[in-house]
Structure 1
Amino acid sequence: MKDVTAAPRGTDSPTLSFFGAADSVTGSRYLVQNGSFRMLVDCGLFQGFKVLRERNRAPFPVRPDSVDAVVVSHAHLDHSGYLPALVRDGFAGRIYASEGTLELCRIMLPDSGHLLEEEARFAAKHLWSSHADPRPLYTEADAQRALDRFEILPEGEERSLGPGVAVRLVPAGHILGATGVRLRVSDRLVHFTGDLGRSDDPLMRPPHPFEPADVLVTESTYGDRHHGEVDPERVLGDVVRRVVRRGGVVLIPAFAVGRTETVLLHLSRLRERGEIPDVPIFLNSPMAVSVADVYSRHPDQHRLSPSDVRRLYELATPVHTVDESKLLNLRGGPMIIISASGMLTGGRILHHLTAYGPDPRNAVVLTGFQAGGTRGSALLGGATDVRIFGRDVPIRAEVVSIDTMSAHADAEGILTWMRATASPPRVVYVTHGEPAAADALRARIKRELGWNVRVPEHLATVGLPGPSSP
């Protein structure tokens, strides 16, 4: 296999190639090259529109066996989810990440492989795939092999990765273990935000201040939005009371890592104040239950004590088996079901949506960003049916969006974080956002900060300017 893009190995000047998240909010993959040394910052899955998902099946832009190292900013699949395929296809180097990220990847990557295998078997059995013999992108066994390549890099410690390249991880908020990635490439400093958390997040601690860098690669998920002053707890309480009065079911698709804990925190506070009825709450996400122990082991990264974490998970009845999950679809309301995935891209929540989506007594509560092309985005846009397992399911349930529950900084939050630096970067690359969001943030950085800023194209390769570069 030949390299599709990137500078030839041995190129004198360091380069940066945008293999993902350059025209979308998913698929974060950045190749940094210094001479013959190649490394990736993040190695995520593309999600959403089919044209983006198909990139997961395309050959990797460079030979996986030509990559020397990978650094992962955090465990969400759009940043880590392609690692099993990369290792299967020949990558033999080390994967560096914080301890929290490794612990979460030990849960999330095998689960992703299992779900991919399950979806392929289901598609073959029910003949709803366009492929005669549907195959998973990777397997659970592939994910286990990828985990063997991980090595913990403590936050704040600078580690040499190869000739002229060193890395340091700094806290980014967002979710447990999430970090910004600071690279020293020859005499250049490059900072990748990963996903930048909020200073006012009810669960996570704020991100580390932005230290000076020559190049900044920033996310822009909410680059065109303001979280506003809407209290997510109040909105959630209103929805629950409204649906319970009509005997309905509240479906909350939530990311198993980060968002589920936030949802449980808000429900716990509402219950303690007597602001929502004492109806059953079911947590139908085995992954989310597993994550509880990880949060308990890392109290320094979030605002909850171990006893708080236990109390949150005691609020909901965990659903472990497939049969228990199926029984929920026969139970009826009133009740609350929290289940992955947050953008309705897969998992048990789809079976609940099939069962309860057609009934107007029920509600679907979207608690975070919905990437274009996902079922969550379709519902947000007013879709009256969504395609699930090869058939169109009518949606008559109330759809409520609470994007103020997001764990991403909004545009103002990103700009405030940038303003804290003692000196501006030579160039900012705006990535990991839908085109409108990325361009809106670009315009604000240019107008309000006066910085040199660009939105790169997919597969573009650029030189890394140093302190004295023109």
Structure 2
Amino acid sequence: MAARLRFLGAADSVTGSKFLIDTGDTRVLVDCGLFQGFKVLRERNRAPFPVPPESIDAVVLTHAHLDHSGYLPALVRNGFHGPVYTTGGTAELCGVILPDSGYLLEEEARHAASGRWSSHRDPTPLYTAADATRSLERFVPVDFDETRRIGRELVFTLVPAGHILGAAGVRVRVGGSVVHFTGDLGRPNDPLMHPPRPLESASVLVAESTYGDRLHPPADVEEELGSVVRRVAKRGGVVLIPAFAVGRTETVLLHLSRLRDRGEIPDLPIFLNSPMAVDAAAIYRRHPEEHRLDSDELARMYGLATPVHTVDDSKLLNLRGGPMIIVSASGMLTGGRILHHLVAYGPDRRNAIVLTGYQAGGTRGSTLLGGATSLRIFGEDVPIRAEVVSIDGMSAHADADELMAWMRTVDEPPDMVYVTHGEAVASDTLRARIKRELHWQVRVPEHLERVRIDAPERQEVAS
């Protein structure tokens, strides 16, 4: 049997990354992400997995963000018992992120049951913190550029992708073909992370397209952030910054630290209300080779904010009032402590909500970005009168021009490019650019579609 590639996720959405390589003797899943956003996508998390989990020999993770790793606890609970290969940095971050995800899923189910705002009589979490902790036993750290074999025919290596600590592109050699999975590709001039490694020759490229239809604005990120902080502080308000606990939180704190050092924002209290982000700080310190910051700047950055550890301390922040800054997960307002802060401070015009990255369709962040004046939180409609600001240039994803520039670094074109991990317009826009500017063979695959790796132009019916 010729090796097949099957798109189990991120083929028609910007979340749920899962790509299955099946040689006939060996099955390897590259990424194991949660679907997020629209309900029709989130319901896929509850559907039976497209192949029996016990039939998968190994998982290879590109990085730790939940849309790439967050389904793993459910996969292990449902029968997967193989190794999970990834970089040491990603393994450490998953040790923080996955149990936290399980806890939040349990908390959401408890809130839904007690508030009776779920359509289910007895709402249950997709998985628990205990499930997540058990899944961590499957992790096997792999160094960048280390060659690992899975089964008789498949060999893979991990190459630096920028984006966040531990993030990797996955290069899989099967038979005479090489498939390169970008994961999430970082930016060439990211203030925190090193740039991704240039693309090497591959038979098939599976490329993300999160920002495939847009460019990051040329505006100065620190100038934008400083302006928001100054005007909100002047009116005695609260600046809420929802941020991904890994990667984005570090970037936000870095910019705030530099603004404070230059005297461009007032000396108002800053609170880091994300135990996961506090834990991630130690991991960044243990991997200085992967980012641009020295120990002094890391110390200033993390020393800037007061960490909030307990739920009671988090609740006290909602009574404190401004002026102050609260940095808290999650970045797309899908869950976590930031929701309680939104309930407390969202209705007040003196305050501001600063969105610092991509907001997937169907999330509260996307709804807010679209101009909504209320958000559904804990079964209630919460009025949002606070100023809403989007600082898109803070994203750790390569934009459309940066993706194209990265592809141009390769010596010879791949036989096929599959454009994935983007909403429909973004993916198709990037597809058209690749076709028009590079003259490469390129397609946007369908959900559950299966293709031959050695003959990628042959489409096969999903089953």
Normalising by structure 1, what TM-score? Answer: 0.96
CA apart distance, 1:268: 0.5
What residue number does 2:298 align with? 309
1:447 correspondence with 2:439 = no
What residue number does 2:314 align with? 325
Equivalents in 1 of 2:36, 2:457: separation in Å?
Answer: 39
Look up the equivalent residue of 2:330 and give its one-letter code: S
CA apart distance, 1:319: 0.5
Cα deviation code 1:262-310 (max 9, x no counterpart): 0001001110111101000000000000001100010010001223222
Aligned residues: 459
Equivalents in 1 of 2:294, 2:97: separation in Å?
Answer: 23
What residue number does 1:292 align with? 281
Equivalents in 2 of 1:252, 1:414: separation in Å?
Answer: 27
2:419 alignment partner, SS class = strand
Equivalents in 1 of 2:100, 2:373: separation in Å?
Answer: 30
The answer as to whether partners of 2:414 and 2:440 remain within 8 angstroms in 1 is: yes
Q: Any runs of at least 4 consecutive aligned residues in structure 1 with deviations exceeding 3 A, and if so which?
A: 466-469
Given the alignment, which residue of 68, 73, 83 partners 1:79?
A: 68
CA apart distance, 1:465: 2.3
Look up the equivalent residue of 2:75 and give its one-letter code: L
What residue number does 1:22 align with? 11
CA apart distance, 1:313: 1.0
Equivalents in 1 of 2:59, 2:455: separation in Å?
Answer: 22
The answer as to whether partners of 2:347 and 2:384 remain within 8 angstroms in 1 is: yes
What residue number does 2:235 align with? 246
Equivalents in 1 of 2:288, 2:305: separation in Å?
Answer: 21
CA apart distance, 1:467: 11
Superposed, 1:63-462 pairs within 5 Å as: 63-462=52-451
Look up the equivalent residue of 1:399 and give its one-letter code: V
Equivalents in 2 of 1:319, 1:92: separation in Å?
Answer: 36
The answer as to whether partners of 2:25 and 2:151 remain within 8 angstroms in 1 is: no
Look up the equivalent residue of 2:324 and give its one-letter code: M
1:251 alignment partner, SS class = strand
What residue number does 2:39 align with? 50
Equivalents in 1 of 2:300, 2:246: separation in Å?
Answer: 17
The answer as to whether partners of 1:187 and 1:466 remain within 8 angstroms in 2 is: no
CA apart distance, 1:35: 1.8
Cα deviation code 1:71-127 (max 9, x no counterpart): 000000000000000000000111000000000000000111111111111211121
Equivalents in 2 of 1:59, 1:359: separation in Å?
Answer: 44
Look up the equivalent residue of 2:137 and give its one-letter code: D
The answer as to whether partners of 1:43 and 1:72 remain within 8 angstroms in 2 is: yes
Equivalents in 1 of 2:215, 2:78: separation in Å?
Answer: 41
Equivalents in 2 of 1:438, 1:306: separation in Å?
Answer: 39
Cα deviation code 1:108-160 (max 9, x no counterpart): 00111111111111211121111111100001111111100110111101111
Equivalents in 2 of 1:193, 1:131: separation in Å?
Answer: 38
Cα deviation code 1:335-362 (max 9, x no counterpart): 0000000000000000000100001110
CA apart distance, 1:36: 2.1
2:31 alignment partner, SS class = strand
Cα deviation code 1:225-278 (max 9, x no counterpart): 111311111000000011111110000000000000000010011101111010
Q: CA RMSD in A?
A: 1.3
The answer as to whether partners of 2:20 and 2:30 remain within 8 angstroms in 1 is: yes
CA apart distance, 1:390: 0.3
What residue number does 1:5 align with? none
CA apart distance, 1:466: 6.2
Look up the equivalent residue of 1:385 and give its one-letter code: S
What residue number does 2:461 align with? none
CA apart distance, 1:366: 0.1
1:112 alignment partner, SS class = helix
1:33 correspondence with 2:22 = yes
The answer as to whether partners of 2:274 and 2:329 remain within 8 angstroms in 1 is: yes
Equivalents in 2 of 1:396, 1:427: separation in Å?
Answer: 48
Look up the equivalent residue of 2:371 and give its one-letter code: G
Look up the equivalent residue of 1:418 and give its one-letter code: M
Look up the equivalent residue of 2:8 and give its one-letter code: F
Answer with 299-308 or 334-343: which moved more.
Answer: 299-308
Normalising by structure 2, what TM-score? Answer: 0.98
The answer as to whether partners of 1:27 and 1:78 remain within 8 angstroms in 2 is: yes
Extract unaligned runs of 5+ from structure 2.
459-463
CA apart distance, 1:368: 0.1
Equivalents in 2 of 1:467, 1:408: separation in Å?
Answer: 27
1:104 alignment partner, SS class = helix
Equivalents in 2 of 1:251, 1:99: separation in Å?
Answer: 32
Equivalents in 2 of 1:279, 1:317: separation in Å?
Answer: 11
Look up the equivalent residue of 1:35 and give its one-letter code: G
What residue number does 1:463 align with? 452
Cα deviation code 1:157-194 (max 9, x no counterpart): 11111121000000000000000000001110000000
> Percent same amino acid among aligned pairs?
71
Look up the equivalent residue of 1:62 and give its one-letter code: V
